[in-house]
Amino acid sequence: MLEGQPESAAHGWLIRAQLNQPLARGDLDGALAYADRILELGIKLGDRDLEALGLHDRGRVLVAMGRVEEGLEAIDEAVVAAVSGEVSPFPTAIVYCNATVAAEDLTDYRRASEFAEVAERWCERQSIAGFPGMCRVRRVELIRLRGAWAEAEVEARRACAELIDFSHEYAAEGFYQIGEIRRRIGDLAGAEEAFGQAHRLGRDPSPGLALVLHARGQSNAAAGMLAGSLAEPSATPLVRAHILPAEVEVAIAIRDLGRARAGADELESIARTYDTHLLRAEAATARGLVELASGATAAAISSLRAAVRAWQATEAPYEIARARMALGEALPSARGGAAAGLELSAAAAMFETLGAVPDLAIARERMEAAAADDGPTAPARRATRTFMFTDVVGSTSLIDAVGDEAWGRLLAWHDTTIRSLLLDHGGQEVHHAGDGFFVAFQSADSALDCAVAIRRTFEAHRREHGYAPSIRLGLHTAEALHTSTGYEGAGVHAAARIGALAGAEEILISRQVVAAAARTVSHGEFRTERLRGFRGPFEVAALD
């Protein structure tokens, strides 16, 4: 119909439809040529709708090509035009939605979350019913990554109900996310059903369904499914990056180390190109697993330690725990079962918090094996340590104010953050209950550094994100009985009492901590306190 007609906005909309054809074939150069033509037409005709769409199409194709910075600049420019109100409602919705998709595909979850929230608010103002569900689907993966699985599943099911008659593509993604949550908690039947629904609506069920097969012992079938997904011409590097971690895991299970190593190599190449915390974490984990399976223990430990650090930067508790569990498996032959036990214990605690039943069972089995590697249980002995107790101030009223789901997500962030800092400062997590930690340090200096790091990290999060829970910390250096399960004795009880005396945002230390420190400790005036259960007084002060 447009043949022979003067150039108009209609030509631009036709080109947008044609752009999807090279994208489906994986022809990114061809797709970019179409996007450039849309942008050119929009500028020439003075059509802000086409111009915004052209910018946004160009940006998402450039990101897929690995020209990330250039692509994100174009996407941001399109979003600015949409936010300013220069663009009509339908193109605005497209820009918001696909900007969210592009950021999430890139694993830039902070940017994706911001786009999704802005889009949802805009859609509510416009009384548009379908797009909020689409934005909700894209946000589900972020919520799941943060460890709030119950909340993520509620959001996913709500989105699927909204979208089933509106967009099969997005409803399929909602069902896929439900499958991922069900798989992690050990409901393989529920996961298979959800992945099946996603497949019927047109979504490739890999890698999720392949990992369900793998969990059932059908690893060869899983390997075949993953090979088929990776062979798709439309599988861009970012799409492949979502599949390759499962490819490595399953290839190791079927003892095809060449295939596993090739998957890890490709994942590292993609991570270098797109350079996000999540991709670096995935690549380091894959490399560590391959080296561990190959018997290269030292290389495995190095890669898995890097993976733990990278996952901590993404605030992804489940993935941190998985990396720590693998590190625990690598450690016994190189460092002794005690070192492995620390990693496995931290992983098990996180799996239990999340409700990751299958992984928790594996972690506990490996803890028993690590304990066996460490030889017969050593007799209890006395040891001098600096003990730390942490606690969230006003947690009961906070739960009442924000609700159980929000509290669960906040607590997961709190636990992950503190465990990350304990790892950095050599703290041994002795016990964790509710929102408090009991930690032992070899030196007073390490304990002081860690306490300050915890306070500063929470302050920075509050400053940058608007909120972080208020915590208190107590430190005391004393001799205690070191048993196979932790530490016992009066010194531990004194440390707990000192922690309970601390105020919000306060680090309360005993005089014994100052005496044990190798450096000068800056603190307020000492005051005398009577601790319940102790005859004599204790001198305590607030750390500056």
- Bridge partners (DSSP) listed for residue 529: 538
**Alpha-carbon span 96 to 385, nearest angstrom:** 54
Task: Give me the tens of pLDDT residue by residue for the chain, a chain 544 residues long.
Answer: 999 999 999 999 999 999 988 887 878 899 999 999 999 999 999 999 999 999 999 998 998 888 888 988 998 899 888 877 888 888 888 888 778 777 777 767 667 767 766 766 776 676 665 555 666 777 788 788 888 898 889 989 988 888 888 878 889 999 999 999 999 999 999 999 999 999 999 999 999 999 999 999 999 999 999 999 999 887 888 889 999 999 999 999 999 999 999 999 999 999 998 888 889 999 999 999 999 999 899 999 999 999 998 888 777 889 999 999 999 888 864 444 567 777 888 888 888 888 899 999 998 888 877 666 555 544 557 889 999 999 998 887 787 787 877 777 888 888 888 988 998 888 988 888 778 899 999 999 999 999 999 999 999 988 888 788 899 999 999 998 887 667 888 899 999 999 999 999 999 999 999 999 999 999 999 999 988 777 789 999 999 8
Phi first, then psi, for residue 406 (nearest 5°) are -65, -40
Q: Taking the CA atoms of 98, 104, 106 and 111 in sequence, report the sign of the dihedral they define.
A: positive
Quickly tell me which residue has 């005036």 as its tokens.
525
For residue 510, the surrounding DSSP H or E stretch is: strand 507-510
Please report the pLDDT score of residue 336 as a whole number.
46
- Name the residue ranges covered by the structural domains of the chain: 381-542
Tokens of 402: 């924000």
Please report the pLDDT score of residue 194 as a whole number.
96
DSSP at 137: H
> 528's torsion region: left (phi>0), alpha (psi -120 to 50) or beta?
beta
SS3 of residue 51 by DSSP: helix
SS (H, E, C) 460-490: HHHHHHCCCCCEEEEEEEEEEEEECCEEECH
Quickly tell me which residue has 């990056």 as its tokens.
241
Residue 426 CA: distances (Å) to CA of 33, 367, 385: 54, 20, 12
Residue 322 CA: distances (Å) to CA of 67, 196, 236, 387, 500: 31, 26, 26, 27, 33
CATH topology of domain 381-542: Alpha-Beta Plaits (3.30.70)
What lies within 8 Å, CB to CB, of 474 at 6+ separation is: 388, 389, 495, 496, 497, 498, 499, 500, 501, 502, 507, 508, 509
**Alpha-carbon span 334 to 295, nearest angstrom:** 11
Instruction: Give residue 464's identity as a one-letter amino acid code.
Output: E
**Alpha-carbon span 358 to 340, nearest angstrom:** 19
Q: What is the DSSP string of 377-441?
A: PPPPEEEEEEEEEEEETTHHHHHHHH-HHHHHHHHHHHHHHHHHHHHHHT-EEEEEETTEEEEEE
Are 273 and 99 in contact, with CB atoms under 8 Å apart? no
Quickly tell me which residue has 């299958």 as its tokens.
358
What lies within 8 Å, CB to CB, of 79 at 6+ separation is: 56, 95, 96, 99, 115, 118
What lies within 8 Å, CB to CB, of 55 at 6+ separation is: 39, 74, 75, 77, 78, 81
